[in-house]
Structure formats: structure tokens, C-alpha cells
Amino acid sequence: MKKKKKIISSFIILVIIGIFYLFQNYPIQNNQDNINKRIEEAPVTAEERLEVTFIDVGQADSILLENEGHYMLIDAGNNEDGPKLVNYFKKQNISNFDYVIGTHPHEDHIGGLDDVIENFNIETFYMPDVITTTKTFEDVLDALGEKNMSLSIPKTNATFKLGDATVKVLYVGTEEERDLNNTSIVLKVTYQNISFLFTGDASTKVEEKLNKSDLQSTVLKVGHHGSSTATNEEFLNTVNPQYAVISVGVDNQYEHPHTTVLNTLASHNITTYRTDQDGTIKIITDGTNIEINTLKTDTNG
Ligand SMILES: [Zn+2]
């Protein structure tokens, strides 16, 4: 009998360990214990902070920003990422987004937006002034329709607040652009002395159109998953970032990020993070200091 009890209790312990490991590998979660790399440029302890999370959605973009309980989402990964993102946001008790932005109507940016629209309250939904006939785009329009919401087109140079952070629209493409990537909404987010530049998949053609005086930023979300069509040397000189983040999938068919872009970043001594290598990348700032945490996951398949 004693031996049987021992076997049962060993079994229970094994099950508990098993469950623990299962949760360890749960996709895109926000558990402090699982952060496997912590780069403390200067630990941010202030309660007033801007958090910018580059969520690991493989070969796609999804970036969550939060300040003072106000949330903004830039892109929502591919179609299959929708439910995972919804789960991730619900776990953080997010119920309302002040702003949701689809930078441009390609699947790897707007794929999961229909799920986000269905599951959360969204105060303002921004996309560029472009219509495509893909099912993915129609799904987004249908989801908006179901909630009696409409799509708004932001104006270049418009600014709006996300809590105490300021968001400036630097560029919005129109239907005249033949390349949908170049319709990308480009945003700069500033929180006191720290700023972030988000260029979607815009190419050098758009980079050259941007107003140079707006560009200097602490953190650059590298354009178009590190494609050589974006991030040329002159642009990088003007942005002059300390950090760069590339949202890119493991072994992707496009061979992103391109070596030329990686070399340019390296030659400018820019510390570069990649979602394919680092997983989800969370940058926290109090407006002066920056803390960077990364969480490797197995969602990249
Ligand atoms: Zn893309």
C-alpha cells in the first residue's frame, strides 16, 4: 500500500511539473517569471511609464503601446495570430483600445484585426485610404460593420495623445501608390525624452518623403521586416536611433532581414533586437531611462 501511495504522489508531482512546463511554453504571455533576457540600460521603477511591446507574431507585425491605462495597437499579425493576440490582451485585462491602427492592408499586418475588433472596444480605428479586395481586408470591414464602427483615415501631421505620450502621424499613403507597402501609416510616439518611430512596411521611397525634422528617434521599428527596400543609410543617419527592432519570422521565405540592413545597423552601432531571435520584445521607459525585456516563445513555427 505504501509503495502504491508513493507511486501516486510521484505521478501527481510529475503532472504538476508537466503543467508548469506547458505554461512556460504558452504563446506570447506576459509573465514576469518567464522573461529570459533582461537588459537593464537603467531599470525603470517609476509608475509613470510608456511600455512598447513588439509581440512575436513571426513574419508579421504587432506592436502594443500602453501609458496610464491607455492602449494603442499597431497591426495584428497574420490571420492565424488573431486568437493568440486576443488571448494575450485579455490576460492583461485590456478591454479598451484608444487607438487601433492597421498600417496597410497586407495580411501580415491586418490579419488578426477582425478578431481584435470583435473582442475589444475600440475608440478610433485607423487605416490608410486604400481598398483591396482580399478576404482578409473584407473580414476587417465586416468586423467593423458588425460593431457599427467605421474606418478613419488619419491626416499627415495630425497629433493625438495616448495618455501622456504624444503620437504624430508622419505619413499616410493613398491609393495612388502602386505598392501597398508604401501606403503604410508612419507614426512617431514621443514620451518626454524618448521616442519611437514606426514605419510599417514603407520603403525608401516613403522614407525620403518624410519631414527630416520629425525623424530623430531613440528606437526605430525597422521598416518592412528588415527588407533591403527600406532603411537606407541616409534615413538611418537622420533617425539616428540607439535601438532598432526588427519584426521578422524564423527562416522566412523573403530572407528578411537582409544582410545589407543588418550591416548598416551594425556599422552605426545600433543595438538591434529581432523577434525571430529574441521573441517578444518589451521596451519600458519613464521618459529618460530605458529597460528592455525579451521573452522567447515557440510561436514562430
Ligand atoms: Zn509586412
pLDDT digits (tens, 9 = 90+) for 169-194: 999 999 899 899 999 999 999 999 99
Give the separation between CA 283 and CA 274, rounded to whole angstroms.
13
60 alpha carbon to ligand 1 midpoint, in Å? 5
> Is residue 10 in some structural domain?
no
For ligand 1, the distance from its centroid to the CA atom of residue 108, given in whole angstroms, is 5
292 C-alpha vs ligand 1 centroid, how far in Å?
A: 23
Residue 1 pLDDT exceeds 80: no
**What is the reported pLDDT for 288?**
94
Position 7 in a domain: no
Q: In angstroms, what is the span from residue 7 Cα to ligand 1's centroid?
A: 52
Model confidence over 71-115: pLDDT tens digits? 999 999 999 999 999 999 999 999 999 999 999 999 999 999 999
Asked if residue 261 lies in contact with residue 275, where contact means CB atoms within 8 angstroms, the answer is no
Beta strands at 194-198 and 186-191: parallel, antiparallel or unpaired: antiparallel
What distance in angstroms lies between residue 111's CA and the mean position of ligand 1's atoms?
Answer: 11
Q: Is residue 40 part of a domain?
A: yes
Average pLDDT on 132-151 reads 96
Residue 46: what pLDDT? 86
pLDDT score, position 198? 98
Q: Dihedral through CA 110, CA 116, CA 121, CA 122, nearest 10?
A: -10
Is position 301 within any domain?
no
Query: Does the residue 2 lie in any domain?
Result: no
Rounded distance from Cα 275 to ligand 1 centre (Å): 13
Q: How far is CA 294 from CA 6, 55, 108, 224, in A?
A: 40, 10, 22, 21
How remote is the CA of residue 13 from the centroid of ligand 1, in Å?
44
Q: What digits encode the pLDDT tens for the residues 28-77?
A: 444 444 556 677 677 898 889 999 999 999 999 999 999 999 999 999 99
Residue 104 belongs to domain with CATH number: 3.60.15.10
Expressed in angstroms and rounded, the spacing between residue 130 Cα and the centre of ligand 1 is 16
Summarised one tens digit per residue, pLDDT across range 203-248 is 999 999 999 999 999 999 999 999 999 999 999 999 999 999 999 9
Domain-located, residue 262: yes
| Residue at 238 is within a domain | yes
Domain holding 203, by residue range, is: 36-295
* CA of 237 relative to ligand 1 center, distance in Å: 23
pLDDT at 3: 62
Query: What is the DSSP code (8-state) at residue 139?
Result: H
Mean pLDDT of the chain: 90
Rounded to two decimals, the pTM is 0.87
Q: Name the E strands within the chain.
A: 37-39, 50-54, 63-67, 70-74, 96-101, 121-126, 159-162, 165-171, 186-191, 194-198, 219-221, 243-246, 271-274, 280-285, 290-295
Query: How high is the pLDDT of residue 10?
Result: 73
Residue 176, domain member (yes or no): yes
Number of domains in the chain: 1
At 265-279, the pLDDT tens digits run: 999 999 999 999 999
- For 282-292, the pLDDT digits (tens) are 999 999 999 99
**How far, CA to CA in Å, does 243 sit from each of 44, 194, 203, 222?**
17, 11, 19, 10
Residues 6+ positions from 60 with CB-CB distance below 8 Å: 75, 77, 78, 81, 108, 109, 111, 247, 249
- Contact between 171 and 192 under an 8 Å Cβ cutoff? The reply is no
